[in-house]
Amino acid sequence: MKYIDEFRDGDLARQIGARIVAEAEPGRQYSFMEFCGGHTHAISRYGVLELLPPNVRMVHGPGCPVCVLPIGRIDLAIRLALERNAIVCTYGDTMRVPASDSLSLTRAKARGGDIRMVYSAADALATARANPQREVVFFAIGFETTTPPTALAIRDAQRDGLANFSVLCCHVLTPSAITHILESPEVRQLGTVPIDGFIGPAHVSIVIGSAPYEHFAEEYRKPVVIAGFEPLDVMQAILMLVRQVNQGRAQVENEFTRAVTPEGNLKAQALVSEVFELRPAFEWRGLGTVPYSALKIRSAFAAFDAERRFQLAYTPVADNKACECGAILRGVKRPTDCKIFGTVCTPENPVGSCMVSSEGACAAHYTYGRFRDQA
C-alpha cells in the first residue's frame, strides 16, 4: 500500500539502525519513552529493539487507551447495561478489560446485557436511531484521536434531536499524562525511570499538532520527536533523539511531517472545544488521579451526557493485587517483571489492562517478544 510499504523497508531499517549504533556514544545510556501504544505495538511487531545498541533503551508509556481506563469507569458502563437496561456501544478493545466482580463488558453481555461492539461513534449513533424505544449509551474512550468522532456524534445527535442517545465520556489528554509522568517522583526524584526524550504520538499529533509539546522541551529539557507508526518512522525518530541528546538539545522535531503540522487539525479541535470542556480531575489506571487530564461534556450538551442523564457516581476500584499494570504504565517496570505475565495473565484471559489491547505493553511483548527473551 502506498505510504505504508515504503516505510517498512527492512534494509533501510538496518541502515538507520547502523547509524544509531555509530552515533550513540558508548559511555552513555539513552532512555526514550514512546508515549503511544501504537508505537509500542510497532516496536514489538517489527523487532525494532533488535536493531538498537544495548545502551539505547525504550520505555513504554501510558498511551494505550484501554490500558489507562480505570475499573470504576468500566463498572459504570456495565451497570448501565445490566441495571438500567441501556444498549451500551463501545470499541472492541474495551470489551475485554477486566472490571469488578470478575466481570468485563464481554462477560456482562453473556449475562444478558445488551452490549454491542462498534467500529465508530457514528455506528453508536446509528444504533440509537434504529432503536428509538431504548436508551443507547456510547462508552467513549481514547485520546485526542477518538475524541473528535465522539464530538461529531454528540453534535449530530443534538442537531437531529435524538432523545435516546448519550455518551459516557472517558476521553483523556496526552499532554497532561506526559506532564504527570515528568512530575512523578520516579522520574523527578528517585531517578528510577530515566527519560532522556520522548517519541511523540502519530495520530494524536495529527489532531493536536506539534506545538503542544514545546512546553515539555522547554520546561523539562526533554527532546520530543513526533513519529509515524511505521518501523522506519520509529527508527528515524530514535536516531533524531540520539542526535539531540548528543548535541545537548531539547527541541520538538517532527519526523511525521507528511501528516503532522504545527497547528494540527483545526477543524477537529474546534468541534472538540465546542462539545467538551476540561474535567478538573480524572482517575487513570496506573497514574492515579491526574488534574485536568480528561474531558467532560459541556452543559450545552447535557442531555447527551450519560453521567448526568443516569446520575452516575464514580467509585474508584483497586486493581488486582498481583497485577503490575500500574508500574508498567509509568515505565517503572517491564512486562516481564510481573509475576503473572504470560502465566495467569495472557491475551486470551487478561488480568490486567496492559494485556488486553494489542497496543498494551504486555500484549505486545507477549505476542511478539516473549520468545526473544529466551533466546
Partner 1 sequence: MRPNDHAVVNLGGIRKEISVALVSDVKVGDYVIVHVGHAIGVIDPEEAQRTLELFAQMEALAQAEGNAP
Per CB under 8 A, which of residues 207..226 are in contact with partner 1?
Answer: 207
Please give the Cα distance from 359 to 340 (Å, whole number): 19
Q: Is 246 in the site for partner 1 (CB under 8 A)?
A: no
Residue 243 CB, shortest distance to partner 1, in Å, is 13
Stretch that binds partner 1, among 78-86, 183-191, 228-236, 308-316 (CB under 8 A): 228-236
Q: Which residues contact 100 (CB under 8 A, 6 or more apart)?
A: 71, 75, 78, 317
Q: Is 273 in the site for partner 1 (CB under 8 A)?
A: no
> Residue type for 253, please?
E
- Give the Å distances, CA to CA, from 70 to 172, 204, 316, 373: 12, 21, 8, 30
Residue 35 CB, shortest distance to partner 1, in Å, is 16
Q: Is 145 in the site for partner 1 (CB under 8 A)?
A: yes
Q: Using the rule CB under 8 A, which residue among 78, 121, 328, 351 binds partner 1?
A: 121
- DSSP letter for each residue of 331-371: TSS-GGGSTTBTTTB-SSS-SSGGGTSTTSHHHHHHHHTHH
Stretch that binds partner 1, among 10-18, 102-110, 188-196, 339-347 (CB under 8 A): 10-18
Stretch that binds partner 1, among 101-109, 144-152, 188-196, 277-285 (CB under 8 A): 144-152
Q: Using the rule CB under 8 A, which residue among 71, 193, 242, 268 binds partner 1?
A: 268
Stretch that binds partner 1, among 12-20, 53-61, 158-166, 321-329 (CB under 8 A): 12-20
Please give the Cα distance from 227 to 350 (Å, whole number): 29
> Residue type for 15, please?
Q
Burial tier of 262 (Cβ tally within 10 Å: 0-12, 13-18, 19+): exposed
Q: How many residues does the chain have?
A: 375
* Closer residue to partner 1, CB minimum distance, 152 or 238: 152
Q: Using the rule CB under 8 A, which residue among 66, 81, 178, 232 binds partner 1?
A: 232
* Closer residue to partner 1, CB minimum distance, 249 or 258: 258
Stretch that binds partner 1, among 139-147, 163-171, 185-193, 292-300 (CB under 8 A): 139-147
- DSSP letter for each residue of 286-319: TTEEEEEEEEEE-GGGGGGBHHHHTT------PP
Q: Using the rule CB under 8 A, which residue among 203, 215, 243, 370 binds partner 1?
A: 203
Helix axes 361-368, 37-45, angle to 10 degrees: 10
Please give the Cα distance from 113 to 23 (Å, whole number): 56
Given a contact cutoff of 8 angstroms between Cβ atoms, the answer to whether 264 and 207 are in contact is yes
Q: What would the grid cell of residue 196 be? A: 532522556
Q: Using the rule CB under 8 A, which residue among 8, 12, 182, 288 binds partner 1?
A: 12
Stretch that binds partner 1, among 6-14, 81-89, 312-320, 354-362 (CB under 8 A): 6-14
Q: Using the rule CB under 8 A, which residue among 6, 183, 214, 218 binds partner 1?
A: 6
Stretch that binds partner 1, among 27-35, 71-79, 171-179, 199-207 (CB under 8 A): 199-207
Given a contact cutoff of 8 angstroms between Cβ atoms, the answer to whether 65 and 141 are in contact is yes
Given a contact cutoff of 8 angstroms between Cβ atoms, the answer to whether 202 and 259 are in contact is yes
Q: 3-state DSSP call for residue 175?
A: helix
Question: Given the DSSP bridges, would you call strands 56-63 and 87-90 parallel, antiparallel or unpaired?
Answer: unpaired
Q: Is 123 in the site for partner 1 (CB under 8 A)?
A: yes
Q: Using the rule CB under 8 A, which residue among 48, 168, 260, 287 binds partner 1?
A: 260
Per CB under 8 A, which of residues 61..120 are in contact with partner 1?
Answer: 91, 119-120
* Closer residue to partner 1, CB minimum distance, 97 or 232: 232
* Closer residue to partner 1, CB minimum distance, 125 or 328: 125
Given a contact cutoff of 8 angstroms between Cβ atoms, the answer to whether 258 and 240 are in contact is no
Residue 191 CB, shortest distance to partner 1, in Å, is 34
Q: Which residues bind partner 1 (CB under 8 A)?
A: 1-3, 6, 9, 11-12, 14-19, 91, 119-123, 142, 145-146, 148-149, 152, 203, 206-207, 232-233, 236, 255, 257-260, 265, 267-268, 271
